[in-house]
Amino acid sequence: MVKVKVKLFAVFADAVGTKELVIDLSGEKVKVKDVLEYIRSKYPKFREVEENVPILMLVNGINVLPDDEVKDRDEVSFLPPVSGG
Amino acid sequence: MHPEISSVNASTLSKEEKIRYSRQIMIFGEEGQKKLKSARVVVVGVGGLGSASSTYLTAAGVGRLILVDKDVVELDNLNRQVLHWTRDIGKLKVRSAAEKLRELNPEVDVEGLAVEVNEESVYDIIKEADVVVDGLDNWGTRMIINKACVELGKPFVHAGVHGMYGQLTVIIPHESPCLQCIVPSAGTKPKSGTFPVLGTTPAILATLQAQEVIKLITGHGRPLIGKLLIFDGTTTTFTTIEVSRRKNCPACGNPAMQQ
């Protein structure tokens, strides 16, 4: 079991209704994309927002890719870099 | 001056310049002001971000300011693009902006380029720049600028806005992560849609951009290199996170680099 704290920013926080979640994921090797998939399945609005906004993914403050690993007690952040000017 | 910027100092400041800039000379001295006077800054996009950044860069006395935008002023620009006024509707944005900036500070050499930024034109547009400032409204064109800045070794001060949200970072090629490292999932096609935005949001981010440019040029303070500032205007929160270079970044990656 891997317990991670998820921090959500801006429109992702709006979609989920909170800025912070603590989630438990089963399995030995958990990846960032598993965390994303969990949030998508629980919060359909997140998936809607995600279709129009790129995601900046961080694990413990370092930018990562969906296939990177997440360990127990890591902090995963999802931020929407915005593109208007 | 940041080591990446290597323009020659303008040798003197006139009596009027010493008065005009006296309050900021108290911060970084006449030496800093001379560095600003000899700097060439390119602002790409004169919309919400570019209106505010170019105003403060002009007021601060950068020597040469090159504005790039192919669009004309439209009515729905006016809630945020404060360099363009009601009477300017239909006018080229670079013309509308340059007219006011020259009045604000005749010491600054303001030039307007009404050209499209694409993979061919970008090199000519930024080749003279000591610093490039992001005033764009889409990822695709930003990534074109980002790649060219990496190739030519130009510092690039990025900001983006949406609604009451925004972000900011300073990119020093091969030293800090580039825009493609930070936002690998952003689209690369130049596409600007209609996005919600409150005028104050680009003003907040763009004044910070101008401040970062001034820091880079004068060498005063520590620019936001390798860090991303996230602004949430709905809660008035600024969050700064560290960002790293990506080993296989298609824009700046060095396969041999250790992450």
With CB atoms and an 8 Å threshold, state whether A81 touches B244. no
Print the domain residue range for B100.
15-242
Judging contacts by C-beta atoms under 8 Å, the chain B residues touching residue A65 are 184
Query: In which residue ranges of chain A is pLDDT below 70?
Result: none
Give a yes or no: residue B2 inside a domain.
no
Residue carrying structure tokens 């030519």: B152
Q: Does B244 touch chain A (CB under 8 A)?
A: yes
With CB atoms and an 8 Å threshold, state whether A58 touches B184. no
CB atoms within 10 A of CB A79: 27
Chain B, residues 23-82, CB within 8 A of chain A, namely 45, 47-50
Give a yes or no: residue B253 inside a domain.
no
Q: Which residues contact B162 (CB under 8 A, 6 or more apart)?
A: A10, A11, A80, A82, A83, A84, B195, B196, B197, B201
With CB atoms and an 8 Å threshold, state whether A85 touches B167. no
CB-based contact B49:B142 (threshold 8 Å) = no
CB atoms within 10 A of CB B90: 10
pLDDT at position B225, please? 97
Interface confidence (ipTM) of the complex: 0.82
CB atoms within 10 A of CB B252: 23
pLDDT exceeds 60 at position B190: no
Residue B2's pLDDT band (boundaries 50, 70, 90)?
A: low
Overall domain count for chain B: 1
- What mean pLDDT is predicted for residues B83-112? 98
With CB atoms and an 8 Å threshold, state whether B161 touches A82. yes
Taking only Cα atoms into account, the Rg of chain B, rounded to an integer number of angstroms, comes to 17
CB-based contact A57:A9 (threshold 8 Å) = no
Q: Which residues contact A61 (CB under 8 A, 6 or more apart)?
A: A75, A77, B241, B242
CATH number at residue B29: 3.40.50.720
- ∠ at Cα B156 (B203, B139), nearest 5°? 70
- What mean pLDDT is predicted for residues B157-186? 93
Q: Does A62 touch chain B (CB under 8 A)?
A: yes
CB-based contact B146:B109 (threshold 8 Å) = no
CB-based contact A21:A6 (threshold 8 Å) = yes
Give a yes or no: residue B76 inside a domain.
yes
Q: Which of A55, A63, A64, A69 to mutate to test the interface with B (most CBs of B within 10 A)?
A: A63
Give a yes or no: residue B249 inside a domain.
no
Q: Which residue of A has its CA nearest to B204?
A: A85
- What mean pLDDT is predicted for residues B95-108? 98
- Residue that wins the pLDDT comparison between B193 and B97: B97
Token representation of residue A8: 């959500």
pLDDT at position B137, please? 95
With CB atoms and an 8 Å threshold, state whether A82 touches B135. no
Domains of chain A: 2-79 (3.10.20.30)
